């Protein structure tokens, strides 16, 4: 059983026990209650202020140097593709400072850096330190890094903030340097002014020469351009006159050609008009001939149609009469056969009908015959309903009415048929009944 120890990415937990020590950074681990203990060492960046007061240089001049340094525990291995914790340096730093506060660590490292800074100052002159602070800082880094690595720390940065002295040496050195710079500035300004005046005079002289040369060349060019312009104007006038002459000649040619073309067109129009009249006369003759031929053929057609119509009417009458005779014959034969088959029953029926006719009297018989006339006409015309199409050839357009007239004639023959079968004169009876009603 134990406690879970959690270490952030900015600190290292050192867990110690019978099995040795282990480092935990940015993760968690289990600490056994009875036989292990844990301590924390910071991995954060520490800022140090290093001051060397009255540090003696090579020539015995004492200076005051202040610098700023930043150090931290060397916790990440260098030269790795992926960052890995450097447990060896963490354990090394823990050996020196585990259990100490951050203030104690800063004081210890500050004393180390201040000693190296003072040592380096003893090998340089004030001028060397003043003029090249970067070189001085690099020397300090080279000497300090070895001691810091031995303690498990890494020097992140080192910068000199100020260099001064108590005897005014730096100020005098600055005044001398300032005077030297001012003198060199004045000399340089004078030399520059003289060179400027000389250069300006030289440039003005060359400018005048160039201006004169350019003006001369410009005048020559202008005159050349003027002569070329005059020549161009002359050529233009000559060309214009030539073009106008060519235009006039072309216009005259066009005018003459137009008159010739108009005369030619007039002759062609006259010829075309005469040809048109001739063709028109020929067409009129042909049309007259065709009309005479058409009239002749129309007369022949009318005569032929009349003849065909008369033949069709005669044939229709003959066919109708033959059909009616055949129908009557077949009907008679069928009725006779039926009468013979029925025998006595038919005779009995006829006897009953005769008795009924006697009871009804002639008036009832006339009414029965008249009531059957529409049905009889419908039966006669029924075969025409099965005809899909009928073609009539007639000169007087009366072929259709002749067909309906045939049906009327067949019905008009009914009184003779009834009188022949029964001896009753239907026309006489109908006439008597009509007179009685009036």
Residue 82 has pLDDT above 60, yes or no: no
Q: How many domains does the chain have?
A: 2
Query: How sure is the predictor about 47, in pLDDT bands with cuts at 50, 70 and 90?
Result: very high
Long-range contacts of 228-236 (CB under 8 A, 24+ apart): none
Q: Which of 117, 133, 163 is the last residue of a domain?
A: 163
> Residue 103: inside a domain, yes or no?
yes
The percent of residues above 70 in pLDDT, for the chain, comes to 74
Average pLDDT over residues 215-241: 85
pTM of the model: 0.39
Q: Which of 261, 71, 50 is nearest to 154 (CA)?
A: 71
Q: In whole numbers, what is the pLDDT of the chain averaged over residues?
A: 77
> Residue 17: inside a domain, yes or no?
no
35-39, 122-126, 140-144, 317-321: which has the minimum mean pLDDT? 317-321
Full residue range of the structural domain in which residue 87 is found: 43-163
Average pLDDT over residues 64-87: 80
What is the per-residue pLDDT for 315? Answer: 76
What is the number of other CB atoms lying within 10 angstroms of the CB of residue 5? 17
Residue 87 has pLDDT above 70, yes or no: yes
- Tens digits of per-residue pLDDT, 277-297? 887 787 777 787 777 777 777
- Tens digits of per-residue pLDDT, 304-363? 777 777 777 777 777 777 777 777 777 777 776 766 666 666 556 556 665 655 555 666
Q: Which of 116, 131, 163 is the last residue of a domain?
A: 163
Q: Say if CB 47 and CB 72 are below 8 A apart.
A: no
Q: Which of 147, 163, 179 is the last residue of a domain?
A: 163
Q: Say if CB 67 and CB 90 are below 8 A apart.
A: no
262-271, 293-302, 327-336, 391-400: which has the minimum mean pLDDT? 391-400
What is the per-residue pLDDT for 276? Answer: 76
Long-range contacts of 42-45 (CB under 8 A, 24+ apart): 42/10, 42/11, 42/73, 42/102, 43/9, 43/10, 43/11, 43/12, 43/72, 43/73, 43/75, 43/90, 44/10, 44/11, 44/72, 45/70, 45/71, 45/72, 45/156
Q: Say if CB 10 and CB 42 are below 8 A apart.
A: yes
Q: Which of 201, 89, 69 is nearest to 143 (CA)?
A: 69
What is the per-residue pLDDT for 406? Answer: 67
Sheet with 37-42: list strands edge to edge.
20-25, 11-17, 37-42
Here the CATH number for the domain that contains residue 99 is 3.30.479.30
Residue 128 has pLDDT above 60, yes or no: yes
């Amino acid at each position: 059983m134990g406690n879970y120890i959690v270490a952030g990415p900015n600190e290292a937990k050192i867990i110690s026990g019978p099995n040795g020590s282990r480092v935990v950074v940015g993760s968690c681990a289990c600490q056994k209650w009875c036989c292990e203990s844990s301590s924390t060492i910071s991995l954060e960046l520490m800022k140090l202020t290093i001051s060397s007061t009255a540090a003696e240089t090579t020539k015995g001049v004492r200076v005051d140097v202040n610098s700023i340094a930043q150090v931290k525990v060397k916790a990440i291995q260098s030269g790795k593709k992926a960052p890995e914790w450097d447990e060896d340096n963490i354990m090394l730093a823990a050996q020196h400072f585990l259990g100490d506060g951050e203030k104690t660590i800063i004081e210890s490292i500050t004393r180390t850096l201040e000693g190296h800074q003072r040592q380096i100052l003893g090998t340089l002159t004030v001028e060397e330190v003043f003029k090249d602070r970067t070189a001085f800082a690099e020397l300090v880094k080279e000497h300090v890094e070895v001691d810091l690595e031995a303690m498990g720390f890494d020097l992140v940065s080192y910068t000199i903030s100020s260099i001064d002295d108590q005897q005014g040496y730096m100020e005098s050195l600055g005044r001398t340097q300032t005077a030297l710079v001012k003198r060199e500035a004045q000399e340089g300004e004078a030399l520059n002014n003289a060179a400027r005046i000389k250069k300006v005079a030289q440039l003005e002289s060359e400018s005048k020469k160039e201006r004169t040369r350019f003006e001369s060349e410009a005048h020559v060019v202008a005159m050349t351009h003027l002569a070329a312009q005059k020549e161009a104007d002359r050529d233009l006038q000559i060309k214009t006159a030539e073009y106008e002459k060519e235009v006039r000649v072309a216009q005259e040619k066009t005018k003459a050609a137009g008159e010739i073309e108009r005369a030619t067109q007039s002759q062609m129009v006259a010829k075309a008009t005469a040809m048109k009249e001739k063709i028109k006369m020929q067409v009129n003759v042909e049309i007259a001939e065709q009309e005479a031929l058409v009239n002749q053929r129309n007369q022949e057609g009318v005569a032929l149609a009349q003849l065909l119509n008369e033949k069709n009417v005669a044939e229709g009458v003959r066919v109708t009469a033959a059909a009616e005779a055949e129908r009557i014959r077949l009907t008679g034969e069928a009725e006779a056969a039926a009468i013979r088959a029925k025998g006595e029953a038919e005779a009995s029926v006829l006897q009953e009908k005769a008795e009924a006719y006697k009871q009804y009297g002639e008036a009832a018989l006339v009414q029965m015959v008249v009531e059957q006339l529409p049905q009889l006409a419908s039966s006669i015309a029924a075969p025409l309903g099965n005809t899909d199409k009928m073609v009539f050839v007639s000169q007087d357009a009366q072929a259709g009415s002749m067909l309906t007239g045939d049906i009327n004639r067949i019905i008009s023959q009914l009184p003779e048929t009834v009188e022949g079968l029964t001896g009753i004169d239907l026309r006489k009876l109908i006439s008597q009944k009509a007179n009685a009603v009036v």
